[in-house]
A and B are shown apart, each in its own frame.
Chain A
Amino acid sequence: DADVTQTPRNRITKTGKRIMLECSQTKGHDRMYWYRQDPGLGLRLIYYSFDVKDINKGEISDGYSVSRQAQAKFSLSLESAIPNQTALYFCATSTQGAGELFFGEGSRLTVL
């Protein structure tokens, strides 16, 4: 089984809909991250969390919110999806700052 699991893997939705992407991990890591990948732009950080009570904005947090329900779970929400949020979203974990990241397989979101 994957150490970092993202659901759903693929989602097509319409403009204005609320969407939640979920991430769970079995690695026991405290730090969790949400990145967005667009062609030619690399990965950009949306939100990150160092523990259950700690949530921080990344480079591109506008239009997104997150919830750290437990050490192992970190969810990303789009309250009202728009087409330019169409992208590949990745959850990642790490044991320490500036350390190696462990990625999930990604959630491909299409907003029509």
Chain B
Amino acid sequence: SQQGEEDPQALSIQEGENATMNCSYKTSINNLQWYRQNSGRGLVHLILIRSNEREKHSGRLRVTLDTSKKSSSLLITASRAADTASYFCATALIYNQGGKLIFGQGTELSVKP
């Protein structure tokens, strides 16, 4: 089964609202990363949070990490139509040779004007 599972699979909100996406994983990690993908395009790195960090901010993005629950959340505040995209979490496992990233299935976010 997937190392990273995301919830919800799809999310539709109005512009100006906040969007929250969750990621759960199964085994111990070195770090967890969030990526964004516009339809059919390459993924773009958003933010990285290390296993010893609990919260991180970048502009309108806020990421939390709870290693005891093996979960992370990505909050996008004051969403815009341009935030419409798929968002993926990716985990770097501690015991994974070379620190390869394992991706979740993604959350499709639709922000309506």
Contacts and interface: CB of A to CB of B under 8 A. Distances in A.
B42 A98 contact: no
B41 A102 contact: no
Contacts of A50: 98
A43 B106 CA distance: 9
Given A97-B99, A100-B33, A43 B88 contact: yes
A58 B41 contact: no
B97 interface: yes
B45 interface: yes
B45 A56 contact: no
B105 A41 contact: yes
A38 B106 CA distance: 11
Interface in A12-44: 31, 33, 35, 40-44
B40 A101 contact: no
A74 interface: no
Contacts of A33: 100
Interface residues of A, number: 29
Nearest to A98: B99
B99 A106 contact: no
A104 B101 contact: no
Q: Of A40, A43, A104, A108, which is in contact with the most chain B CB atoms at under 10 Å from its CB?
A: A43
Contact of A105 (B9, B35, B41, B97): B41
Given A88-B40, A98-B31, A100-B45, A42 B92 contact: no
12 contacts: A42-B4, A42-B106, A44-B103, A45-B101, A97-B100, A98-B30, A98-B31, A98-B92, A101-B45, A101-B90, A102-B45, A106-B41
Interface of A: 4, 31, 33, 35, 40-45, 48, 50, 56, 58, 88, 90, 92, 96-106, 108
Q: Which 6 A-B pairs have the closest CB atoms?
A: A98-B99, A97-B99, A98-B92, A103-B42, A43-B103, A42-B105
